[in-house]
Amino acid sequence: MRVTDTSDLWWKTAVVYCLDVETYMDWNGDGCGDLEGLAHRLDYLAELGVTCIWLMPFYPSPDRDDGYDITDYYGVDARLGHHGDLVEVIRTAKDRGMRVIADLVVNHTSDQHPWFVSARSSRESPFRDFYVWADEPPAKQPEPVFPDQEDSLWEYDKKTKQYYLHNFYKHQPDLNVANPRVREEIAKVIGFWMELGISGFRVDAVPFFIEQPGFEGPHDYLRSLRSYIGRRSGEGVLLGEVNLPYEDQLKYFGGLDADDELTMQFDFVGMQQIYLSLAREDATPLADTLAARPALPEVAQWANFLRNHDELTLDKLTEDERQEVFDAFAPEERMQVYGRGIVRRLPPMLHGDPRRIRMAYSLLFSLPGTPVLFYGEEIGMGENLDLPGRTSVRSPMQWTSGANGGFSKADPEDLVAPVTGDGFAPSHVNASQQRHDEGSLLNFIRLLIQCYRNSPEIGWGRFTVLEQPDRAVLAHQIENGQGRLVALHNFAPEPATVRLELEDVEPGTVVTSLLDADEYTWPEEGPFEQPLDGYGYRWLRVIRPGDQRLT
């Protein structure tokens, strides 16, 4: 898929913001966030610079897995509002220049979904083949995704005397995408939400979704979904959760030549190397990984993140590397989960050090690809370790220093989840105070977004790691026909001096620092030198002759 008109490839330079409606803003005072509350916070997101809102599941659900156990793909959970409220959110967001994407969770349903209720009622049920059944589980099977919760991928159903497949929890039976009727239903679900104005989907657990026993041509199916969305909307996007090595992720893009499957994929490999570099105060692991990251076709994109709504998985690190990160950022057992992940947010992991926190977010926005924020990151929210497992990072958004952090007027015991306490409580961390503080993290993130949006080469350009003798320093450049950005980040607490030698830059060339507007001139001889404070960072625009861009 080669394009000449790039006007519809909005995801190449987007700023994605993930939120859970139930923990974002409660407008009716019942203790649970709702769509009306979200609608009243869209101006805040537009002010921040968000261009795409990713809604975590808002569908009807028993809520045994935070909404990822769905009972009706066409509905809206009554606690959150109704279809009219959702359409108002979508319309208002578009009026503010923001698109809305939704979670597409079609690798499994809730065991309370009418399809499964029927399927387990009888082997002759018309919905029996909507799920995967076996007389006996395979002798060999992978380790469960949640090894502390499940000991098998198969669960015995007493009534019909067969086992059903569940790659996740036993209350989430896997859909059988080998069944054409299931694929037809998935297409109807996608079409329904796109008709209501949804601009695409974050596709949950893609390998588990398409790589099923007996299903031939899984990537053909993924291509058909991409084609279907393209027919429905020229700007539709599929953002895939594919936690695999880079060479395997390429297959889910469709390869370097076809590029007709997923539009975007999260860079789990790069994210894990960021944390290894932070733990070691050594940029080398990340620099080596970025240098090896495959270049993508024009229409595809990497999605970069520091935090998401799940555990911070470290499964692509070696056992020794993972232990290094645990020792640095999750030394207590309650901070770890599944033997592979961390259930903390970034600021507490970095001990609230504003230098390291800002360096990490500067890095995020300067990496080639599209940045993704999880709600509350922009103000430096912490986790609540009193909440179980990975839900510890899903506490209510902190809007003010008042009761319940301004999230709800309900009694604290009626909240859908308790607010964070200790040093990251709303009295210390909230959006209202930071909006009026020029030196706040919120305003720093807003500046980063502004500079990112003014630097289209980050989304479109050619990426190069620039060698540095200091292992603590990551220097990289991204360039295309519109400009060149050089980003510098110091992972260590000691100051460093960066030396840049770029053969194609003429002496006298102007270099502007985008984050503080300082200006320099490329020297007549020798390298261009730039000092960095401990945990320092710089974004440098190399101004080409005749360049009239605003810096």
Tokens of 207: 């390998």
- Active-site option among 20, 22, 204, 457: 204
DSSP H/E element including 539 = strand 537-543
| Contacting residues for 168 by C-beta, under 8 A, at least 6 apart | 65, 107, 108, 145, 146, 150, 205, 208
- What Cα–Cα distance (Å) separates residue 439 from each residue in 433, 442, 446, 487? 11, 8, 11, 21
First to last CA, the chain: 33
Which segments of 206-267 does DSSP mark as H helices, in order? Answer: 206-210, 218-232, 246-253, 255-258
DSSP H/E element including 287 = helix 284-292
Strands 312-313 and 336-337: unpaired
Task: Tell me the C-alpha distance between 336 and 329, whole Å.
Answer: 10
Tokens 């053969």 correspond to: 503
Residue 363: strand, helix, or coil: helix
Please, how many CA atoms are within 13 Å of residue 223, restricted to the half-sphere of its CB? 11
Tokens of 398: 């902190």
Tokens of 266: 């999260």
| Contacting residues for 195 by C-beta, under 8 A, at least 6 apart | none
Task: Tell me the C-alpha distance between 525 and 76, whole Å.
Answer: 64
In single-letter form, the type of residue at position 173 comes to: P
DSSP letters spanning 451-467:
HHHT-THHHHSEEEEEP
Catalytic residue check, 288: no
Phi (first) and psi of residue 380, to 5 degrees = 80, 40
Q: Which DSSP letter does residue 44 get?
A: H
Please write down the HEC assignment for all residues of 420-478.
Answer: CCHHHCCCCCCHHHHHCCCCCHHHHHHHHHHHHHCCCHHHHCEEEEECCCCCCEEEEEE
- Cβ-contact 165, 173 below 8 angstroms: yes
- Cβ-contact 238, 137 below 8 angstroms: no
10 Å CB burial of residue 202 (0-12, 13-18, 19+) is buried
- Active-site option among 34, 157, 241, 321: 241
Phi (first) and psi of residue 224, to 5 degrees = -65, -35
Strand order in the sheet with 312-313: 312-313, 341-342, 336-337
Closest to 474 measured CA to CA, from 542, 536, 543: 536
- Cβ-contact 305, 360 below 8 angstroms: no
Catalytic residue check, 69: no
Phi (first) and psi of residue 342, to 5 degrees = -120, 140
Catalytically annotated residues:
204, 241
